[in-house]
Structure formats: structure tokens, C-alpha cells
Amino acid sequence: MNIQEEVSKRKTFAIISHPDAGKTTLTEKLLLYGNLIRSAGTVKGKKSGKFATSDWMEIEKQRGISVTSSVMNFPYRGYQINILDTPGHEDFSEDTYRTLTAVDSVVMIIDSTKGIEAQTIKLFKVCRMRGIPIFTFINKLDREGKETLALLEEIEEVLDIETCPLNWPIGMGKRFLGVYDRNNEQLVKFNGNEEETYIPKDELSEEIANNPTYIEAMDEFALVEEAGAQFSLEDVLSGKQTPVFFGSALAPFGVQTFFDHFIDMAPAPGGRKTTEGVVSPDAPDFSGFIFKIQANMNPAHRDRVAFLRVCSGKFERGMDVRLARTNKHMKLAQTQQFVASSRDTVEEAYAGDIIGIYDPNVYRIGDTLLTGKDKFEYDELPQFPPELFKKVMAKNAMKSKQFKKGIEQLVQEGAIQLFKQYRTESYILGAVGELQYEVFQYRMKNEYHVDVLFETIGERIPRWLNPDEKVDASLYDERNMLVTDREEQPLVLFKNDFSLNWFKDKHPDIELIDLFEVN
């Protein structure tokens, strides 16, 4: 098979949701379709205790959670499916955001009983800023949830994206009859624990056709068909419209239909931007970028694994590649592919695939690896706005040299973000999840032999100032703390929405930049 054929078979995506919306349950069902696992309930160690996809890290073992995103792949209908996990719960970190730079599309799960929740919004914003196509699965229809129209309105309003339901739920909870499949003009009937059945619209029994739940739902759907957005694959692929499906991951109901539609619509890997223009996925020379580095928390095993997204050409185990940043050559002999059950050695890979490469402490997040004569680097990974802030200091002031060295390295690795308070120059660490502090503290102790102390600042809303404007330090205090980032750029950490809005009203001339809006 040639490179182009291989690339066209790849579907690389992530599932985003708020904790408890049903990501694990849905992923398990997808793995079942891929015949990768025989029984559901085996995706995360957390739930089943059977195995965790990545179990190298000490904290991970202690807590039984997967600290950093893992990857699962399996063949389905002739495609090669790569699912990248985006950890939520306590293990939410910048890695979760970075993982989204390595996918070609995203499945967004929404709990029909809750609607849009905080973590969904954050992850959605990252997809939006990357222009990633988003496919929506509204879950838990077997329970009493929000009204269908209200849910769609919520998505449109909160996330500012057009919705186009490709199926329509008939009732919910105890009255849940199934979904009406728009494309195939049929009812997909919910039969509780039994398999779903498919009944063409004009072959429905009188009992169903006259059921008030059915009539009401179809009346509503008629309105949506008439007044709602028309399906446009182009708009879906550019991230303007999201196709919406309804179902129950647990039952499972509507999952396979959703997945089949998704696979048909989701894009294969496309060209990616580099310093020398767009590189096509079927270009003959191998290239890729590192989006995550997983350090081993066990001091006896200092090995690290770098996660690389292949972007062009063909990867072969043992091949000689160049690290674009340093122009040094290296052999990629120790590589792993990530499958839910094990880490197999990968022999070859194509654009869209994710491989794990042994990292003898030379790689950085965002690094480009390549072969061939051309010189280029993939676009830098964006800086994501942290929301938690803590002052940090060494417990023992005598250790300040190691302290600085440790921070410098861990920050460079992308484990956490460093800021300095204006004037006092105190070190402030910014993170998107609490876990980042735990990992930081653990690694400072184990790798740099420094005990660190934190002083909580709390949740803050960071807004960068225009670097060209002169900063008037007298405008800032505890509620709108002035700090600088690693590039010495000034930003303000607002205590809450209120202080942000108050400041905006008072100083309309000061430009405040939200990183989620730029990048």
C-alpha cells in the first residue's frame, strides 16, 4: 500500500467531555466494536482494576489513575482508528490540552441531564482555536434530562457553534423510544438491554406512530428540519457546525450508528503548517512533532517517553532521523505503539499515528523530527492559559541553585508554567490542574533533591497586556496581580470575573488578551 492510501485510512481523534459524562463508557464500546477488548469495563485501571493503559508513574500507581494521556488504536471497517485520551478528573493538566494539537477531529460528549459543563467549555475552546472539527454525542438519553431543543440552544449559545442534529431523540428516560435517523429516515428503536432495531418511517406500527411521545418529538423535529441549519460537511470540517447525535453509551444505544457516521465524516490527516509552509501527509519524507513527554516518576528508572504524532511519510523502526531544533541525528529504535491492553513495538507508522519514543532527555515538547533534505519545524505548540496559581519557594534557602535549575527544566519540559510577580520577583507557578503541582513537587524532590513549599494564590483569570504598551504598575494590586511570563511579557491575574469586568470598565483603553482567543 502506498503512503497516500495508508493516510486516507487514518482517523485520529480525541473524546472531550466533563468528568462523568460517559467518556470511559463510550470509549469502551468503541473498543468493543474494534474487537480490542472482549468485555467492557477495562479501559481504565481506575474503574476495573484490571490494567491501566500507562502505568509507569509512581503517582499513577498510587492513585490508580492515568496521569498523562494515552493512546488507543484499532482497525475498524478498514480504517485505522487512533483515539487519544484526554484525562479529566484530578488528572486534568496541560497535557490534556496539548493532546488536542495531535488530533484531526474531536468527539464531544454531553450529559443530557447536565448540559454543557465547565471542562467541556475549556476543551472546546482549544478545539475552536485549532479549527478542529467537532462531532457531538449527547449521552444518557435513558435518563430524564434536559429538553432536546434546550440542549441544542445551549450548545449554540455557550459554545457559539451551529448545531445540526443528524438524529432526533424520541422521548427520554422511561419514555425513551429511540432516535429518528434523519439520513436513513428510520426509527432506531431502543429496546432496553436488547439490541436496537431499525424500522423505516413508513413501516412503523400504529402503536408507535400514535404514541404521543413519538408525535411530539417528530413535530419538534419537523420544526428543526425546516428552521434549523442545513447539514454542511464543509462547515463541519472547518469547525463552524457540529453534527449532533443522541444515545446512551451505557445501554449501548445509538453508539455504533454514531460511530459509523462519525467515521464517514471525520477527516483523514491533512497537511500541517511548518516554518516552510504546509507539509502534506503523503510527502515521501518522514516527519512528526512531539506533543507530550512523560517522565518516569520512579527514580530507579529515569527513562522518559516522548509522544510523537507522525505528520508525513513513513516511519520505520530503527530509522535515522534529525531533531530539527539541534540538527542532531538519532536512531529511533525503541518505539512503542499504544494499544489499550499493551504497549507493542511499532514497526511502521504513517501520518495520524502516534508513537512513543524513548527519550534520553533530549526532546522538548513541540520538537520536530524529520528525515530528508528539507529543513522545517512544525508550528510551535500554543501556550495555554493556566487558571490555578501558587507561589513556590524552596524549603531550604540554601538549595536555591538546584531549585532554580529544577524549575527551569521542568518548565521547559512543559510540566508547569512559570511567572514572576512584578517587582518582588517571587516565583509563581501556573497550572490548569492540581495534579501538575503534585508532579512538580514530586519531581523536584526526586530529581533535584529540593523540597518545595507552595503558597496558594488560587484560581485566577489571566489576561495578557499588549507588549507594546507601557505598563503602569500602580493600577495593579492583589485582586489584579501584575506578573510576567517566561518571555517577560506582562499579564494580569484577575481574581474573578467581577474584578476583570470592573477593570475593563475602568480602563477601557487597556487591551486585555485572552490566550484562548488568539493562538
Spatial CA neighbour of 363 closest among 293, 297, 295: 293
Closer by beta carbon to ligand GDP, 142 or else 353: 142
Q: Which is nearer to ligand GDP, 113 or 296 (CB)?
A: 113
Binding ligand GDP by CB under 6 A: which of 244, 249, 340, 349? 249
Per CB under 6 A, which region of 15-23, 117-125, 151-159, 390-398 contacts ligand GDP?
15-23
Give yes or no for a cis peptide into 462 (omega within 30° of 0): no
Residue 47 beta carbon to ligand GDP: minimum distance, rounded to whole angstroms: 6
Of the candidates 425, 513, 410, 500, the one whose C-alpha atom is nearest the C-alpha of residue 459 is: 500
C-alpha cell at 464: 495578557
CA dihedral 353, 355, 361, 365 (to 10 degrees): 20
Q: How far is the CB of 161 from ligand GDP (least distance, A)?
A: 21
Contact between 354 and 71 (Cβ < 8 Å): yes
Shortest Å, Cβ 21 to ligand GDP: 5
Chain centre distance of CA 486: 24
- Is residue 203 within a helix (H) or strand (E), and if so which, with residue range? none
Q: What is the size of the binding site for ligand GDP (CB under 6 A)?
A: 15
Segment 113 to 142, residues that bind ligand GDP, using CB under 6 A: 139-140, 142
Give the integer Cα–Cα distance in Å for 395 and 401: 13
User: Which is closer to ligand GDP, CB of 37 or CB of 249?
Assistant: 249
Phi/psi at 113 (nearest 5 deg)? Answer: -85, -15
240 binds ligand GDP (CB under 6 A): no
SS3 497: helix
To the nearest whole angstrom, how small is the minimum distance from the Cβ of residue 111 to ligand GDP?
8
Pairing of β 335-338 and β 480-484: unpaired
Which x/- pattern over 194-233 shows residues binding ligand GDP (rule: CB under 6 A)? ----------------------------------------
Question: Residue 374, annotated ligand binder?
Answer: no
Contact 366, 290 (CB under 8 A): yes
Is the separation of the CB atoms in 352 and 310 below 8 Å? yes
Report the alpha-carbon distance of residue 188 to residue 411 in Å, rounded: 51
Asked if residue 139 belongs to a known ligand binding site, the reply is yes
Cα–Cα distance for residue pair 419/182, rounded to 1 Å:
51
Q: If you count them, how many residues does the chain have?
A: 519
Q: Tell me the C-alpha distance between 37 and 22, whole Å.
A: 18
Is position 449 annotated in a ligand binding site? no
> How many whole angstroms separate alpha carbon 452 and alpha carbon 405?
13
Compute the least distance from the CB of residue 276 to ligand GDP, in Å: 40
C-beta closer to ligand GDP: residue 13 or 494: 13
Q: How far is the CB of 68 from ligand GDP (least distance, A)?
A: 16
Here's the x/- map for ligand GDP, 17-56, by CB under 6 A: it reads as x-xxxxxxx-------------------------------
388: annotated binding-site residue?
A: no
Q: How far is the CB of 11 from ligand GDP (least distance, A)?
A: 21
**C-alpha grid cell, residue 227:** 428552521
Q: How far is the CB of 319 from ligand GDP (least distance, A)?
A: 36
CA dihedral for 43, 46, 51, 53, sign (positive or negative): positive
Question: Which of 148, 186, 248, 368 contacts ligand GDP by CB under 6 A?
Answer: 248
Coil, helix or strand at residue 428: strand
Which three cell numbers, joined as nine digits, stand for 62?
A: 498510587
Query: Which CB atom, from 3 or from 110, has the smaller least distance to ligand GDP?
Result: 110
Measured CA to CA, the distance from residue 467 to residue 510 in angstroms comes to 11
Is 264 within any annotated ligand binding site?
A: no
Spatial separation of the C-alpha atoms in residues 339 and 34, rounded to whole Å: 12
140 known member of a binding site: yes
Among 204, 250, 330, 461, the residue binding ligand GDP under the rule CB under 6 A is: 250
Q: How far is the CB of 44 from ligand GDP (least distance, A)?
A: 8
* Minimum gap (Å) between residue 271 Cβ and ligand GDP: 32
Choice between 124 and 419, CB closer to ligand GDP = 124
Nearer residue to ligand GDP within complex by CB, 24 or 417: 24
The response to whether 73 counts as a known ligand-binding position is no
Residue 6 C-alpha cell reads as: 495508508
- Please tell me whether 86 is known to bind a ligand: yes
Binding to ligand GDP in span 140-159, by CB under 6 A: 140, 142-143
Nearer to ligand GDP, 249 or 428 (CB): 249
Q: Which is nearer to ligand GDP, 24 or 312 (CB)?
A: 24
429 is in an annotated binding site: no
Given the complex with ligand GDP, which of 65 and 481 has the nearer CB atom? Answer: 65
Binding mask 306-335 for ligand GDP (x = CB under 6 A): ------------------------------
Cell 503558597 identifies what position?
455
Q: Which H helix or E strand runs over 75?
A: strand 71-76
Beta carbons of 185 and 201 less than 8 angstroms apart: yes
Where residue 449 falls (left for φ over 0; alpha for ψ -120 to 50; beta otherwise) is: left
Selected range binding ligand GDP among 197-205, 247-255, 269-277, 461-469, rule: CB under 6 A: 247-255
Give the binding site for ligand GDP (CB under 6 A).
17, 19-25, 139-140, 142-143, 248-250
From the annotation, which residues make up the binding site?
Answer: 17-24, 85-89, 139-142
Which residues sit in the known binding site for GTP?
17-24, 85-89, 139-142
